[in-house]
Structure 1
Amino acid sequence: MQIGVETSKAVDLRRVFVVHDDDITRAALQFMLHDEIETHELATPEEAFARGVDWLKPHVVLLGASFLKQKGPTLIGELAAHFSDVRILIVCDKSDEATAVEGIKAGAHGVLVKPLTLEAVGKKVDTILERGGAAPIVQLSVLK
């Protein structure tokens, strides 16, 4: 039995893919989320594409900023095309905020800036999934 986990969250049939090249960050995010939502650690976007077939599609992808640096902001569009209705959060250090902004402009839904805390990560995922009393997501268009 899990103590302190809301029943409505524990039986939520949605899932998160943590796609990050740093295994410690992946494990920490998986640990922070696994009690309240199905969470999978993946080392590369390609691994996520292979894993997310048919029934195992993610509802949220926590994407390491390093992949945006390597592959460019078009990676956001590739994720969105491969996983319909996915929400994408970019995980970055404060020094990578410019990369995160490019990701937001390309269609990502938010950013998790390190240092990561259990409360901040849980709240952000709840908000992006519009669960647990979180305010609904309002889509804003970016002015060019």
Structure 2
Amino acid sequence: MQIGVETSKAVDQRRVFVIDADDVTRTVLQFMLQDEIETHEVASLDEAFVKGVDWLKPHLILLGASLLSGNAQGVVAEIFQRFGGVRLVIVADASDDPAVTASLRAGAHGTILKPLTLEAVRRKVDTVLGRTGAAPLVTLPGL
């Protein structure tokens, strides 16, 4: 099901990895993005490192804050080392979470805060990837 998809974005050759231990968050983010950009969901960093071989290297990683537990700077550094040139956005409950702050200091490119909305997620992805023209939301009559 395509919701407000801009054709130029749908043919974008870049890919996003959604890495989060919470399967609901992963699924929601993949659903929100899959019509506009190739999106893969994985449950752990180890799985992402295995999946992220050269031919499937991500251009953007949406990382659940729960995976930063206690070592945000180390996690961010390892991601940048394994996936050179990748953009990193932290998905979190609150912007004042110490792990989120530490990851931003370590070089993460931004945050997406819950509750997740289609417009906010797509706008952040577009901004971080440097894509122009945010996709309009479709309003259905009577809803």
TM-score by length of 1: 0.87
User: 1:3 deviation in Å?
Assistant: 6.1
1:86 is matched with: 86
Q: Is the 8 A contact 1:60 1:87 kept in 2?
A: yes
| Matched position secondary structure for 1:4 | coil
Unaligned runs of 5+ in 1: 135-144
Matched, 1:17 2:17: yes
Superposition RMSD in Å: 1.7
Identity %: 60
1:108 is matched with: 108
CA–CA separation in structure 1 for the residues paired with 2:71 and 2:27: 23
CA–CA separation in structure 1 for the residues paired with 2:133 and 2:3: 20
Matched, 1:48 2:48: yes
CA–CA separation in structure 2 for the residues paired with 1:64 and 1:71: 13
- Provide closer, same or farther for how the CA distance between residues 19 and 87 of structure 1 changes in structure 2, counting only shifts above 3 A: same
Q: How does 1:103-142 map to 2 (within 5 A)?
A: 103-133=103-133
User: 1:61 deviation in Å?
Assistant: 0.3
CA–CA separation in structure 2 for the residues paired with 1:95 and 1:103: 11
User: 1:110 deviation in Å?
Assistant: 0.4
User: 1:14 deviation in Å?
Assistant: 0.3
Q: Is the 8 A contact 1:9 1:132 kept in 2?
A: no
CA–CA separation in structure 1 for the residues paired with 2:38 and 2:4: 17
User: 1:5 deviation in Å?
Assistant: 1.5
1:141 is matched with: none
Amino acid at match of 2:40: H
User: 1:126 deviation in Å?
Assistant: 0.2
| Matched position secondary structure for 1:78 | helix
User: 1:97 deviation in Å?
Assistant: 2.4
Which stretches of structure 1, 4 residues or longer, exceed 4 Å deviation after superposition?
none
Amino acid at match of 1:50: V
The number of equivalent residue pairs is 134
CA–CA separation in structure 2 for the residues paired with 1:30 and 1:2: 13
1:64 is matched with: 64
CA–CA separation in structure 2 for the residues paired with 1:84 and 1:10: 24
2:138 is matched with: none
